[in-house]
Amino acid sequence: MSAYIEGPPNGKLNILCDEFDAQVVAPSEVRPAIAMGFGVVCVVFNPTFESAGYAYDKAEAERFMFPGDHREKVWLRMNKSDVEQLVKTGLGVGK
Protein backbone atom coordinates (compact mmCIF):
# COMPACT_ATOMS: atom_id res chain seq x y z
CA MET A 1 0.00 0.00 0.00
CA SER A 2 1.59 3.24 -1.11
CA ALA A 3 2.16 6.15 1.26
CA TYR A 4 2.74 9.67 -0.01
CA ILE A 5 3.82 12.98 1.47
CA GLU A 6 1.18 15.58 0.65
CA GLY A 7 2.14 19.16 -0.04
CA PRO A 8 2.35 21.75 -2.77
CA PRO A 9 2.13 20.44 -6.34
CA ASN A 10 5.76 21.35 -6.99
CA GLY A 11 8.82 21.96 -4.84
CA LYS A 12 8.63 18.85 -2.68
CA LEU A 13 12.22 17.87 -3.53
CA ASN A 14 13.58 21.23 -2.43
CA ILE A 15 11.47 21.35 0.74
CA LEU A 16 12.58 17.87 1.82
CA CYS A 17 16.25 18.68 1.19
CA ASP A 18 16.23 22.20 2.63
CA GLU A 19 13.93 21.76 5.63
CA PHE A 20 14.30 18.08 6.53
CA ASP A 21 17.94 17.37 5.66
CA ALA A 22 17.08 14.79 2.99
CA GLN A 23 20.07 13.63 0.97
CA VAL A 24 19.91 12.62 -2.68
CA VAL A 25 21.05 9.02 -3.20
CA ALA A 26 21.58 6.84 -6.25
CA PRO A 27 19.05 4.09 -6.95
CA SER A 28 21.74 1.56 -6.00
CA GLU A 29 21.81 3.06 -2.49
CA VAL A 30 18.07 2.68 -1.85
CA ARG A 31 17.99 -0.92 -0.60
CA PRO A 32 21.00 -0.48 1.72
CA ALA A 33 19.47 2.72 3.13
CA ILE A 34 16.23 0.90 3.93
CA ALA A 35 18.18 -1.96 5.52
CA MET A 36 20.08 0.56 7.69
CA GLY A 37 16.82 2.03 8.98
CA PHE A 38 16.65 5.26 6.99
CA GLY A 39 13.45 6.63 5.52
CA VAL A 40 13.58 6.58 1.73
CA VAL A 41 11.43 8.84 -0.43
CA CYS A 42 11.06 8.70 -4.20
CA VAL A 43 10.19 12.08 -5.70
CA VAL A 44 8.53 11.46 -9.06
CA PHE A 45 8.31 14.27 -11.61
CA ASN A 46 4.95 14.07 -13.35
CA PRO A 47 4.04 16.50 -16.16
CA THR A 48 2.32 19.01 -13.87
CA PHE A 49 3.26 18.02 -10.31
CA GLU A 50 5.76 16.17 -8.11
CA SER A 51 4.77 13.23 -5.97
CA ALA A 52 6.80 12.13 -2.97
CA GLY A 53 6.28 8.45 -2.22
CA TYR A 54 7.56 6.71 0.89
CA ALA A 55 9.47 3.53 0.05
CA TYR A 56 8.87 1.99 3.49
CA ASP A 57 10.34 -1.39 2.57
CA LYS A 58 12.31 -3.05 -0.21
CA ALA A 59 9.18 -4.30 -1.99
CA GLU A 60 7.71 -0.79 -2.10
CA ALA A 61 11.02 0.57 -3.43
CA GLU A 62 10.88 -2.03 -6.21
CA ARG A 63 7.43 -0.76 -7.22
CA PHE A 64 8.88 2.72 -7.69
CA MET A 65 11.70 1.21 -9.79
CA PHE A 66 9.35 -0.38 -12.33
CA PRO A 67 11.38 -0.46 -15.58
CA GLY A 68 8.43 0.63 -17.75
CA ASP A 69 8.02 3.89 -15.82
CA HIS A 70 10.18 6.46 -17.57
CA ARG A 71 9.33 9.47 -15.43
CA GLU A 72 12.23 11.28 -13.82
CA LYS A 73 12.77 10.21 -10.23
CA VAL A 74 15.02 11.42 -7.44
CA TRP A 75 15.67 9.18 -4.44
CA LEU A 76 16.10 10.70 -1.00
CA ARG A 77 17.48 9.24 2.23
CA MET A 78 16.35 10.88 5.44
CA ASN A 79 15.40 10.31 9.05
CA LYS A 80 12.74 7.60 9.10
CA SER A 81 10.69 9.20 11.87
CA ASP A 82 10.59 12.46 9.87
CA VAL A 83 9.25 10.60 6.83
CA GLU A 84 6.62 8.77 8.86
CA GLN A 85 5.48 12.03 10.44
CA LEU A 86 5.35 13.79 7.06
CA VAL A 87 3.17 11.00 5.63
CA LYS A 88 0.70 11.82 8.42
CA THR A 89 0.93 15.62 8.41
CA GLY A 90 2.15 16.62 4.95
CA LEU A 91 4.66 19.35 4.18
CA GLY A 92 4.46 22.83 5.58
CA VAL A 93 5.51 21.65 9.03
CA GLY A 94 9.21 22.48 9.28
CA LYS A 95 11.56 21.25 11.96
Residue 94 has pLDDT above 80, yes or no: no
CB 5 within 8 A of CB 54: yes
Residue 91 has pLDDT above 50, yes or no: yes
Residue 92 has pLDDT above 90, yes or no: no
| Confidence band for 2, pLDDT divided at 50, 70 and 90 | confident
Query: Which runs of consecutive H residues, i.e. helices, occur in 1-95?
Result: 12-20, 30-35, 58-64, 80-89
49-85: pLDDT as tens digits: 999 999 999 999 999 999 999 999 999 999 999 999 9
User: Where exactly are the structural domains of the chain?
Assistant: 3-89
| pLDDT value of residue 39 | 97
22-44: pLDDT as tens digits: 999 999 999 999 999 999 999 99
Q: Strand, helix or coil at 77?
A: strand
Residue 20 has pLDDT above 60, yes or no: yes
